[in-house]
Structures are given as C-alpha cells and as structure tokens.
Amino acid sequence: MKKIIGIALAAALASQVFGFSYSGRCHSQGQMPWTFNYNSRGTPDCANEFAQLTTALATWSNVSGQWYRQVRGANTSQLNYGYDSSVLAVWYHSSYRSYGQNPWRWGSGAIAVNVYWYSGSLIVHNDVCFNNYNFSWSDSGASGRMDVQNIAAHEFGHNLCLNDLYNSGARDYTMYGYCSYGETKKRTLHADDIAGIRYIYPNTGVRLNEFKASPNGGDVVVTWEAAVEINHAGYNLYRREDVGLGAEYVKLNEALIIGNSPYTFKDENVVGGVAYEYLLEAVDLNSHKERFGPVRISMPGLKATFALAPSYPNPARTEAVITFTLPEAGPARLTVYDVSGRRVATLAEGALEAGEREVVWNLTDDRGASVPPGVYFYRLETPTETAARRLVVAR
C-alpha cells in the first residue's frame, strides 16, 4: 500500500504543459459511488461550505460519457486525514487544535491538499484537506478569500487522478495548479478537464441485466442480456482457468460478437472437473472498452480438487464472497490476515464436508468491528494442504 501526499493547489503563477494530465491511477467501477464524509466543523468563515462541496462533487459526476461518481456521505467528527474507513473533506484551522487536530503541515502557500493511498494502480482511499491557517474562505466568491466550490472542484479532480496543469494557457481550466482570491472560474469544467475524465473512465453506453455461464453437457454456454446499448460496436469474451493469481484471461472470439440481445456463446473447449472464469468486454464505436464480470463455473465430471477461488467483488466495499473446494470431508480452517500477518477473522473452522462451499465475509474482525481499508490475505488450511489469496477492502 502506498500513499501520495501533497497534490495541492497553490496561490502563485508558473508554466508547464496543458491539455489534461493523468497520474496512471484510477478507481474501479465497483467502488462507485465514491463517498466523501465532511468534518462537521467545516470552516468558521462561511455558512454554506458543505453545499459548495457537494456541488463541486456533482460537477465531475455529471459529465456525460463517463461512469465515475462522487457523492456526499455523512458528517463526521474526524479532524485529521488518515488511511481509515472514512474518506474525508476537512478544514485545518488553528482554533480546532484544542479538539485534537494536527497543525497544517503542507506549507503556507498550499490552499488545499488531496492525500490518497493506492494499491498497484487502484486508488483505495483519499482525504481532501483545506488550509484555514493561511487562507480565509467564502461561499460566494468574495474578494480576499478563497472560494470553497472553486477550490473543491479542483481537489476532487485530483481524486479522479487528474494532475495539476501549470502552463499559462491552462489558466481557465479546473485543473490549473494555481488560484487567486475571489476566483470562481474553476467551478466550471473546461473541455480538456472533461476530456480527461472521459479518457480515464470511459462509458461504453452498455448496461447489462444479466451475465452468466451454465454447463450444457460437456460445454459451457455463456449468456448475457443488455438493458442498454448506446454507441455500441460489439463484445469480446475472455476465459481463464481458475488455477491461481497468475492465470491470464484468453479471448475466445476472433471477431467482435455482434447481434441483438440476448447473446449466447458456446464454449466447447472445456474440461470436466475444472473451474473457469469468464469476462465480458463491451467495445464502443470510439474503441472505448468496459468489462463485466467475472462469472465463475465449475465443470462437473471429475473428483473435486483442493481449491481456493478469487474473492468477489475485489476490491470489496461491504462484503466479500469466498469460494473454496475440499476433495474430502475433514478438518479445515478459512482465516483472514492483514499485511503484517496478524489474524483478523476466522470465517470457517472445524470438520467440513467435501465439495464446494461459499462463505461471505462482512469485512469485520472476530470482535465484530469493521476492518479498515487495505490489503488482506485469506488462507484455507487442511492437515495436508494450504492455499492463500489476496483481497482489497476499499470503503
């Protein structure tokens, strides 16, 4: 797990490139909507800062042609940023230090800072911190103050993984990295800001009612039904054997699958006793791609083998479904550990029946407390075999 600190907006002028700049990281569709909780103290400078924050969230969420969504959550008493269960928007103010808030640590020229944590290329947590030590705030674009909606729209753009722009030609862009008192132009997205979010989170215009795989004799029949197909070119179907984290998906179709919903694809190249996962990829007329699934199926016909399947969804926000197979009845244990090797939760233990079994982890520890976001490992153990896999909790 890694952390980036200090994606900040500053009060100055400089020069670099413009268009849009992308960090290479992003959110997954399974994390949507991304929910910000507001520290209940806000800023003492104005009365409507929370409404301004929510409007800034909606500015990015309302862009057509992309699937990313940011929304307001609950008020919280949390005062300091941190990798925890609450994605936070908070003002740092000297009068709040008596309540346990740390001092502003990013320099007097930083108006606001977005701090985010990521695993691989996936964002798993972020907090937005506003500087009330060195700047005063307004909800109406008042002179001599920083406008809440103006600054918040920029910082929420960083949560989308757009970088700062510094060329003077980008002065009117929301992601321009500098700001002046009373400025409100960052409230409205520039065409290049919009192009950036569409590039990172393209919406192919496909919505599915159903995607499933079923055994049919010695074959697998994959079916899917689309509720919506806008700007749609066709589908690709991918399959992999469920043999571990290193298995790669292989495309099954040579040309795009086209036609009318519902769709059917017969996979004749399967083996009895093997588990398979299928991914569906929708492709639009602009070559944007969006994936659905995976769906998993275990082919009958052979004696079950010891197996621990990938959890889903992964990342998990409310629960994780874990499937495992035991070749014979006997003692077994399924446990969850954090990255330090500390056991967090025991999901199954004792004499278990042979065959496939599904367990739902509600993302709590053995005491019933919610676990914080992060990377976890779940392990299946019998007297003769052991297997482990990785999952990410992203609240």
CATH 1.20.120.160 is held by the domain 303-395:
no
Q: Can you tell me the distance from the alpha carbon of 155 to that of 170, in angstroms, rounded to the nearest whole number?
A: 16
Instruction: Give pLDDT < 50 ranges for the chain.
Output: 1-7, 9-18
Give the pairing type, strands 289-298 and 307-308: unpaired
> Is 31 within 8 Å of 135 (Cβ atoms)?
no
pLDDT tens track for 147-205: 999 999 999 999 999 999 998 889 999 999 999 999 999 999 999 999 898 888 877 77
CATH topology for 204-302 is Immunoglobulin-like (2.60.40)
> Tokens representing 149?
């909606």
Q: Domain map of the chain by residue range? A: 2-200, 204-302, 303-395
> Which residues, in sequence order, are bridge partners of residue 122?
26, 119
Give the CA distances from residue 255 to residues 290, 328, 338, in Å, rounded to whole numbers and listed in that order.
Answer: 17, 43, 43
323 and 309 Cβ atoms separated by less than 8 Å: yes
pTM here is: 0.55
pLDDT on residue 243: 56
In this prediction, residue 356 carries a pLDDT of 87
Are 79 and 100 within 8 A, CB to CB? yes
For residue range 73-112, list pLDDT tens digits in order.
999 999 999 999 899 999 999 999 999 999 999 999 999 9
Nearest to 66 by CA among 251, 223, 193: 193
What CA–CA distance (Å, rounded) separates 213 from 297?
A: 7
CA distance 146 to 308: 53
- The two tokens of residue 346 are 């025991």
At the topology level, CATH places domain 2-200 in: Collagenase (Catalytic Domain) (3.40.390)
CA dist., res. 105 & res. 99, Å (int): 17
The reply to whether domains 2-200 and 204-302 share a CATH topology is no
State both tokens at 252: 């099954």
CA 138 to CA 150: how far, in whole Å?
Answer: 10
